[in-house]
């Protein structure tokens, strides 16, 4: 379980101090897929980076499974079970997909196990296992490979920062299926997604709305989604998500 207590983050710019995250109090329990949404520039991605340890809060605290990790490094948080997927996945010239999965898993995966992770994100393993993680891969392919590395990690908390950014419609549709599968198979872990896409909001267990660095409202998908996209559209999106999860 993740707990944010009075979390704040401010930076200095030419106009003076600017508060990006303001006194945020949140709990992300295990066995939930939670989506944080809100207007651009509202502090969503900054909040994700604070949780992952990419940024250091200027106030408040972060607790993960009862341990205070407010000042813990990215590496220490990764060891504690927090995985973070960037908006733009990093390319590694000379590094094969198989090598990347083994690094993520922290052990020497055999090819069969590595292929299972690629299959879980809708990639034909034999076509990708020996490919380099370089510019030859499309944005959608990189996104799914990055998700495969998160699966290989076996993380207790997986954070995805705007996973839909920079991918085509076909890849986006496959990405939704991946998240539906992840939600259906959550055990003693949690998934946190930063997104404003209706289809991703529709697969959430809970939605948190962030605006101007503060939590504007939060609740179950059925409570919050209609307030964001309209009742009829929300019902349709939820039905599509539930039907996908039941397949």
Q: What is the DSSP string of 189-245?
A: -EEEEE---HHHHTT-SEEEEEETTEEEEEEEHHHHHHHHH-HHHHHHHHHHHHHHH
Q: Is pLDDT of 94 > 70?
A: yes
- State mean pLDDT over 83-109: 82
Of the pLDDT bands very low, low, confident and very high (cuts 50, 70, 90), residue 237 is: low
Q: Checking DSSP bridges between strand 157-161 and strand 82-85, what pairing results, if any?
A: parallel
Structure-model confidence comparison of residues 116 and 67, the more confident one: 67
Strands ordered across the beta sheet of 82-85 = 82-85, 157-161, 190-194, 33-37, 206-211, 214-220
193 near 182, Cβ under 8 Å? no
Q: Which residues contact 150 (CB under 8 A, 6 or more apart)?
A: 83, 85, 104, 158, 160
Please state the rounded mean pLDDT for residues 90-100.
83
Residues 130-162: pLDDT tens digits?
888 888 888 778 888 888 888 888 889 999 988
More confident position, 191 or 171: 191
Coil, strand or helix at 102: helix
Q: How confident is the model at residue 229 (pLDDT cuts 50, 70, 90)?
A: confident
- Under DSSP, is residue 99 helix (H, G, I), strand (E, B) or coil? helix
Instruction: Report phi then psi at 210, rounded to 5.
Output: -110, 130
What is the dihedral sign for C-alpha 34, 38, 40, 42?
Answer: negative
Residue 138 CA to residue 171 CA, distance in Å, equals 10
27 pLDDT above the threshold of 90: yes
Are 150 and 81 in contact by the 8 Å Cβ rule? The answer is no
Q: What is the pLDDT of residue 92?
A: 78
Mean residue pLDDT across the chain: 86
Q: What is the mean pLDDT of residues 41-53?
A: 93
Asked whether the beta carbons of 144 and 128 are under 8 A apart, the reply is no
The pLDDT of 218-235, averaged and rounded, is 79
Check residue 141 and give its pLDDT: 83
What pLDDT was estimated at residue 23? 95
Instruction: For residue 236, count CB atoms less than 10 angstroms from its CB and return exposed for 0-12, middle for 13-18, buried for 19 or more.
Output: middle
In angstroms, rounded to a whole number, what is the distance separating the alpha carbons of residues 202 and 239?
8
Question: Residue 223: what pLDDT?
Answer: 93
Q: Tell me, what's the pLDDT at 243?
A: 64
Q: Give the integer Cα–Cα distance in Å for 132 and 120.
A: 19
The answer to whether residue 240 scores a pLDDT higher than 70 is no
pLDDT (0 to 100) of residue 195 = 93
| Domain ranges within the chain, ordered by starting residue | 2-246
3-state secondary structure of 63: strand
CATH class as words, domain 2-246: alpha beta
Q: Is the pLDDT of residue 128 over 70?
A: yes
The residue with greater pLDDT, 177 or 168, is: 177
């Amino acid at each position: 379980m993740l707990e944010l207590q009075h979390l704040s983050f401010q930076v200095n710019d030419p106009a003076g101090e600017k508060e990006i995250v303001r006194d945020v109090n949140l709990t992300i329990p295990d066995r939930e897929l939670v989506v944080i949404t809100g207007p651009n520039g509202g502090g969503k991605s900054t909040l994700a980076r604070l949780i992952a340890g990419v940024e250091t809060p200027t106030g408040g605290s972060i607790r993960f499974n009862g341990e205070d990790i407010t000042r813990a490094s990215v590496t220490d948080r990764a060891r504690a079970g927090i995985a973070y997927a960037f908006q733009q996945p990093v390319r590694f010239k000379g590094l094969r997909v198989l090598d990347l999965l083994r690094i993520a898993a922290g052990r020497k995966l055999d090819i069969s196990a590595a292929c299972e992770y690629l299959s879980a994100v809708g990639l034909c393993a034999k076509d990708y296992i020996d490919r380099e993680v370089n510019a030859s891969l499309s944005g959608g392919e990189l996104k799914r490979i990055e998700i495969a590395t998160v699966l290989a990690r076996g993380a207790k908390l997986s954070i995805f920062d705007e996973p839909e950014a920079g991918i085509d419609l076909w890849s986006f549709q496959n990405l939704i299926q991946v998240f539906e599968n992840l939600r259906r198979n959550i055990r003693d872990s949690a998934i946190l997604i930063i997104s404003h896409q209706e289809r991703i909001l529709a697969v959430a267990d809970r939605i948190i709305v962030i605006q101007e660095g503060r939590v504007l409202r939060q609740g179950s998908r059925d409570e919050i989604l209609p307030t964001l996209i309209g009742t009829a559209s929300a019902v349709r999106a939820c039905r599509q998500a539930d039907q996908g999860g039941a397949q």
